[in-house]
Structure 1
Amino acid sequence: MRLSACLGSTGIVIAACWSLPAMAQVTTDAGTLDPARIERFFNQPGYSPYAAHDYPMRPLWGEIHLHTSWSADAIAGGTRVGPDEALRYARGQEITSSTGQQVRLSRPYDFMMVADHSDSLGVMNGVLDGDPNLLADATLKGWHDGMVAGGDAAMAVVMDMITLQGLGKLPVAITDRDVQMDMWRRMTGIVEAHNDPGSFTALIGYEWTSNFGGGNNLHRNVVYRDGKAKADMVRPMTTYDSDIPNRLWDWMAMYEEATGGRILAVPHNGNLSNGLMFALETPDGIPIDQAWVEARARWEPLFEVTQSKGTSEQHPSLAPADEFADFEIWDKGNLNVAPKAPGMIEFEYAREALKRGLKLEAEFGTNPFKFGLLGSTDDHTGVSSAEENNFWGKFPASEPGPERATGNAFDMDGRTVKDWQLGASGLTAVWAQENTRESIWDAMKRKEVYGTTGPRIGVRFFGGWDFVAEDARRREPALVGYGKGVPMGGDLHPAPEGAAAPSFLVAAIRDPFSGNLDRIQIVKGWVDAAGGMQEHVHDVVWSGDREPGADGKVPAVGDTVDVENATWTNSIGAPELIAVWQDPDFDPALRAFYYARVIEIPTPRWTAYDAAYFEGAEFPAEAPMTVTERAYTSPIWYTPG
């Protein structure tokens, strides 16, 4: 099928055309290739290649990290949009933001999880309303006054909350367990009312918010496979119980044993943890051991690689040869903007952790950092916004308006992060068979997911031992992909006799609302024979007739952005890219991982849209006005033997 056959009269890609590549895995329960099923894939029992198969037709889009007025810091910062309105918005309805502006998504989500903080869930509504029992506490009275005053006073309350919570000194009046359980049951009732299997999935979940030591971000989103009946049986864990991640894993084990349900946890962007997210000891200084390694591997199959407070794929100082590593980097400090010490950054970024996981697997027999990648916003407005021309900020103070050109997103004793440093990121794509809690959760558990910085780029990524160039010329890459290999999030099967090196089939199609594609890269990480952690970023397919230079790098695609008018043209780049790539430096004795990174051509950043829309919005010269959006797939792993 030619691409032109997939375009409507307006040039928008028809969704059904991207569904063509999907096909179910041809493996047995033991994970080995099933010759009979392979034969069936290539010799269907009828004309339709899809009639006899159960497979994901398209990626389901959404996020699992949005805060509403039920989060203490969100309501303190001025958020008045609650979970009901947030879910209506995710389903495509127009709502009113906390600053009184009308807002709507360009396209509805397929799923959403409201991830309000379990600490003091919903209780700060009473503080704002002036509940005399709560305001008898001097700290809460001060918070009430700051929230009513709004502006900088309200944001000062937010920062004070983060500090006191990290130190375990929150007022007792808002930590009552019975109140928490009552609020949790109310929350699950709201979520349950929006769950519509087959049409829209409202996942139940919450954020466990460890700010160990005062602002060191060790947050996790806990995602339930279950509905209200099971979720209500056990009180969510809070940092009042413990702020050590392995204690959360103990709670998760207890939940599953008590209810028969299923849950998983997703660590946040590690860039604000000040070296703790992927450290080799627990936050309280205990070296990791076998039990720790196995527990983390079991409970945390995913990692949030990108969100509004920066992208945590890789830091440019750790990968100077990677020209795309310097993307929406927040590296000043932790949530309190407490500065980083030397050596912290290498324990905060996903690619470093994926490499370190290979080393730990050699030592413990289990890889604790064998995670897939996804994106979410972490917006605290009740408005999930990952679109550059529809970005609603982190807190209400950062919602659209001329003042956010120079405003502060965070300010702790003069240590600031500016509003313009916020990123309109990100989203999660899930390859699930059905739009249900069970199917989406199962895809997350097996890591058949990927994250983007906002655009809905379609991506397929498969690894195997006998992909050939001809496979990239088929119009059904997933038919070949599942037939010959494993999808993103999987493990390469043992090499067949005579296999030289693994090969990978990767395909991407642009978001019809966004820019063309510049290139697809495959990022390889491995541990060499001496135990050193290595990486290499390979350009595997790109648009146009560019040729790699003497350094092996493909030249930049160009830039068509008209910053003044916040627009661009898709006269460069490609609407779709597909290739088969074989690792040229494969050593069968060395552990390795591979993931795909899809890069768009430059498009206007939200700052450019603001500058064009708001009269008097003058951003500083250092504020970026363009953005190169991208997608990150979950890795595929190779293990010797």
Structure 2
Amino acid sequence: MNFKAWMLAGVALVALSGFISVGRCATIFQDDVESGTNGWMVQAQGSTTSLLWHIMERDARSPSHSWWCGVESSGTYEDGTNVVDGTLSSPDIVLGSTQAVFFFSERYETESCVDDVQVWLSTNQGASWQALAQNRWGRSAGWTRHVVELGDYTNHTIRLRFRFSANSYMNRYGGWFVDDIEVAEKTDEDQDGLFDFEEGWYGSNSWETDTDLDSVPDGLEVYVAGTDPDDPASCLQWSAMGWATNGVAGLVWQGSPSKLYWLEASPHITGVWSAVSGVVTADVMNPNGMTNLTPSESLFYRVATTDRVALATMGFGCDANGRSALYTNAFVVWGDLHSHTIYSDDAEKRQTNYVVPSIPSAALSNTIGLLDFVSITDHAESNIPGFYTMEKWTNMIAQIMAFQNTHPEIVVFPGFEYTKTWFSMPPLWLIPDGNGHKNIILYDFEHLPVRGYGQDAFSSPTQLWAYLDSSNAAGHYLCIPHHPAKGSEPAEEGETHDPYISMGTDWATNYLRSDILDLVEIYSRHGGSEMEDAEEPVHNFRAPGAVNTALDRWLLADHNPAYKMGIIGSTDTHGGNPGDVREISTNVQSWLGPYTGGLAALLVANRTRESFWYALKSKNCYGTSGGRIAIEFTAKLGDALAPMGGTLYHATDLSSNGVGLVNLHIRAVGESVTNPIARIQFYRNSVCILNATNSLWGQTVHIDHIDRLPHHFAYYRAKIWEAASTLNSSCQYERAWSSPIWVEKQ
């Protein structure tokens, strides 16, 4: 049983501040990349032919050379091949009976969540490899120094490997730089339980047992949650671990009344740490905190701690199967709120198209017939012959009403699309006008406007909203922006597009209304608008229009509630076949990319129009990339528990180094047993705070995470990935994006 109280931050590798001097450690292997390849081997993996690893002088940690996986001519890892999968492997390194550590410096820049950097180890001369650390992606904080424990590999001959893996899309990033590679034996000159690299790691003295003279050795302090070897007032001691007669382990430590504690576990000491207990407290009458658990010999354990404040939260609000108390009687329904029929001017030339009631039975059975709710959102512009007219509006309403009467099991919401069509020529095109593309979703057939109108009638969304507010639709409609981060449209075959026509959304406050802008579409067959560096971006991606940009605006000083938006996905099909996410060649628009579009999911208590509408308005919903991933995402703060779209309120002052605790819980169910969950990510605001992966996860996964909230306001959201299964060449993982949960100071 490996009970340890490592004060790591839950990261895969331990980042060290500055370059570490390990002169008092016995060096086993060292390479500063200044004297040639030194036995390192560069290889291409799988069917790739990329040999991008090479020594260069573009950037280095010390003094002038480093290994780089990249292309000199472009300064990126775009090499014109389908994928990049290259390895840099060390020569044999012989470890003795003394435990060793592995140091290296790195700097990387990759496409987030898709292209990753990996560190591997082999004990059989490269016949097989095992991961030493969690995969990483995105941008590192410049050059960082890392240390990896090699205690499990004493008396082995090992090889180390740096593997860079990227798909064929969005490879115009800086790549991976590696420098100053070293393997050294652990030594402990001062016999305090810390090895001699403690100076660079913890700031304590590797030659002095008790730096702060508090009668507790530096090593014991570091391995006890919340202590500091340089602070004599910080002294928290371990007590002996006790075992109950029923075989349940009890981990006991000397606590403090001002602290909160919880237990975390990880399959590897440098792996992802997840909370395996609720928060426990220590008080004056009983200064010992205890957490009971059924131990696992395959896990490492540590105690995490923070200051005790009024935001103390207990538990995650779910049962042993991961079902949240908020969702006991809820179930998921699926829909598509963005689809077109032949009444849209651009539909017939784009896809084989049907008027909704005329959909063939085969199509009905495998697309729209699988939906629980749907909206037809034909383009409402009418200034050009053949575009939308009053006659088309009347016919469309009559036909979807007939469809609703024939298929009462599917809730049909009337709607239309307000589409930007005007050319904006220089220099005025530089000024965002906020129009973008927006769908108007109407509650029912009893609350319709005279007709839907586009930008030809109303030059701004605010004018359109004023018209709707003066009509029978007042108080009974939603306005949903879609592909908000998109720039200009790519040209279709044989056509050109004016580069000055932006299809994105301006999130300025004058184009917002919290009573109708409850939702935003994050994904469709145009691609994704999640955030910069996310996979499958829309064409000509513009970060100011991204979904995370809009959500982050709620964090500004006025905390405008109009930026509290839920998330959905849609198809944007132009084939009169809502919900069509089949991965077949005829179901993509090639100039947009290999995307079949997404779906919207609601958590409801019953199958009624009222229940569906309430879920949309309350943001108890999420979007997917087309896969039917069922999720339940909740957050708990104190005694309050909130679902997706909810807000947790508090009255605690966090401005004086206070920290609040938020318990996050996710339950995810893959589409089938052959579509297991592969990755779960939690975001606080735009920062990923948990990136958990496990190749052994099955169809159903539920995990918890405790976040230490440092500010009064925040929002949390979850992103779930199924195992690779799609035919999409740019991202083979079906994904689900939860609506946020907000934390707000009263």
After TM superposition, the score normalised by the length of structure 2 is 0.49
Q: 2:567 aligns to what? A: 373
- CA deviation string 1:78-113 (max 9, x = no partner): 533112135xx7xxx4149xxxxxx83497111211
Equivalent of 1:451, from 623, 633, 636? 623
**Structure with a larger share of its residues in helix:** 1
Equivalent of 1:179, from 381, 391, 395? 391
1:229 equivalent in alignment to 2:446: yes
Deviation at 1:230, TM superposition (A): 2.6
1:507 equivalent in alignment to 2:734: no
1:82 equivalent in alignment to 2:390: no
* Residues 358 and 367 in structure 1, CA contact (< 8 A), matched pair in contact too: no
* Residues 371 and 579 in structure 2, CA contact (< 8 A), matched pair in contact too: no
Letter of the structure 2 residue corresponding to residue 270 of structure 1: P
1:240 equivalent in alignment to 2:364: no
Equivalent of 2:547, from 322, 342, 350? 350
Q: 1:382 aligns to what? A: 576
1:587 equivalent in alignment to 2:710: yes
Deviation at 1:428, TM superposition (A): 0.8
Rate the CA distance shift 1:492–1:455 in 2: closer, same or farther, 3 A.
Answer: same
What is the distance in 2 between the residues matched to 1:583 and 1:229?
46
Rate the CA distance shift 1:195–1:356 in 2: closer, same or farther, 3 A.
Answer: same
> Which of 1 and 2 has higher RCO (CA within 8 Å, sep 6+)?
1
Q: 1:492 aligns to what? A: 648
Matches within 5 A, 1:472-551: 484-494=640-650, 500-512=660-672, 515-525=675-685, 535-539=686-690, 541-544=692-695
Q: 1:266 aligns to what? A: 480
Letter of the structure 2 residue corresponding to residue 639 of structure 1: E
Q: 2:604 aligns to what? A: 432
Structure 1 unmatched ranges of 5 or more: 1-40, 44-48, 97-102, 121-168, 282-287, 317-324, 334-344, 399-408, 411-416, 467-482, 526-534, 545-571, 607-622
* Residues 175 and 240 in structure 1, CA contact (< 8 A), matched pair in contact too: no
What is the distance in 2 between the residues matched to 1:180 and 1:70?
7
Equivalent of 2:737, from 617, 632, 636? 632
Deviation at 1:182, TM superposition (A): 3.2
Q: 1:189 aligns to what? A: 401
Equivalent of 1:220, from 438, 453, 462? 438
* SS class of match (2:614): helix
* Residues 633 and 643 in structure 2, CA contact (< 8 A), matched pair in contact too: yes
* SS class of match (1:272): coil
What is the distance in 1 between the residues matched to 2:700 and 2:580?
22
* SS class of match (2:650): coil
What is the distance in 1 between the residues matched to 2:470 and 2:412?
24
Rate the CA distance shift 1:67–1:195 in 2: closer, same or farther, 3 A.
Answer: same
1:64 equivalent in alignment to 2:337: yes
Rate the CA distance shift 1:465–1:427 in 2: closer, same or farther, 3 A.
Answer: same
Equivalent of 1:331, from 519, 536, 539? 539
* SS class of match (2:675): coil
* SS class of match (1:519): strand
Rate the CA distance shift 1:513–1:208 in 2: closer, same or farther, 3 A.
Answer: farther
Rate the CA distance shift 1:42–1:640 in 2: closer, same or farther, 3 A.
Answer: closer
What is the distance in 2 between the residues matched to 1:206 and 1:110?
19
Deviation at 1:583, TM superposition (A): 1.1
Rate the CA distance shift 1:513–1:220 in 2: closer, same or farther, 3 A.
Answer: farther
* Residues 385 and 393 in structure 1, CA contact (< 8 A), matched pair in contact too: no
What is the distance in 1 between the residues matched to 2:482 and 2:369?
25
- CA deviation string 1:505-541 (max 9, x = no partner): 111111117621112111111xxxxxxxxx3212264
* Residues 84 and 191 in structure 1, CA contact (< 8 A), matched pair in contact too: yes
Rate the CA distance shift 1:94–1:381 in 2: closer, same or farther, 3 A.
Answer: same
- CA deviation string 1:416-457 (max 9, x = no partner): x5xxx2312201111122222221111101000000101111
Deviation at 1:495, TM superposition (A): 5.6
What is the distance in 1 between the residues matched to 2:697 and 2:339?
33
1:205 equivalent in alignment to 2:432: no
Deviation at 1:594, TM superposition (A): 0.6
Rate the CA distance shift 1:95–1:230 in 2: closer, same or farther, 3 A.
Answer: same
- CA deviation string 1:397-423 (max 9, x = no partner): x5xxxxxxxxxx34xxxxxx5xxx231
Letter of the structure 2 residue corresponding to residue 587 of structure 1: P
What is the distance in 2 between the residues matched to 1:53 and 1:524?
21
* SS class of match (1:229): coil
Deviation at 1:636, TM superposition (A): 0.5
Deviation at 1:580, TM superposition (A): 1.8
1:422 equivalent in alignment to 2:594: yes
1:310 equivalent in alignment to 2:522: no
What is the distance in 1 between the residues matched to 2:460 and 2:650?
37
Matches within 5 A, 1:29-44: none
* SS class of match (2:468): helix
Q: 1:574 aligns to what? A: 698
Rate the CA distance shift 1:369–1:191 in 2: closer, same or farther, 3 A.
Answer: farther
What is the distance in 2 between the residues matched to 1:639 and 1:486?
12
Rate the CA distance shift 1:632–1:181 in 2: closer, same or farther, 3 A.
Answer: closer
* SS class of match (2:648): coil
Question: Which stretch of the first structure deviates more once superposed, 508-517 or 366-375?
Answer: 508-517
* SS class of match (1:331): coil
Compute the RMSD of aligned alpha carbons: 3.5
Letter of the structure 2 residue corresponding to residue 636 of structure 1: I
- Determine what percentage of the aligned residue pairs are the same residue: 23
**Structure with a larger share of its residues in strand:** 2
Deviation at 1:119, TM superposition (A): 2.5
Report the structure number with the largest CA radius of gyration. Answer: 2
Deviation at 1:379, TM superposition (A): 0.9
* Residues 465 and 495 in structure 1, CA contact (< 8 A), matched pair in contact too: no
Deviation at 1:307, TM superposition (A): 0.5
What is the distance in 2 between the residues matched to 1:386 and 1:80?
12
Deviation at 1:604, TM superposition (A): 3.5
Deviation at 1:273, TM superposition (A): 4.2
What is the distance in 1 between the residues matched to 2:345 and 2:572?
14
After TM superposition, the score normalised by the length of structure 1 is 0.57
1:599 equivalent in alignment to 2:599: no
- CA deviation string 1:125-154 (max 9, x = no partner): xxxxxxxxxxxxxxxxxxxxxxxxxxxxxx
Say how many residue pairs are matched: 403
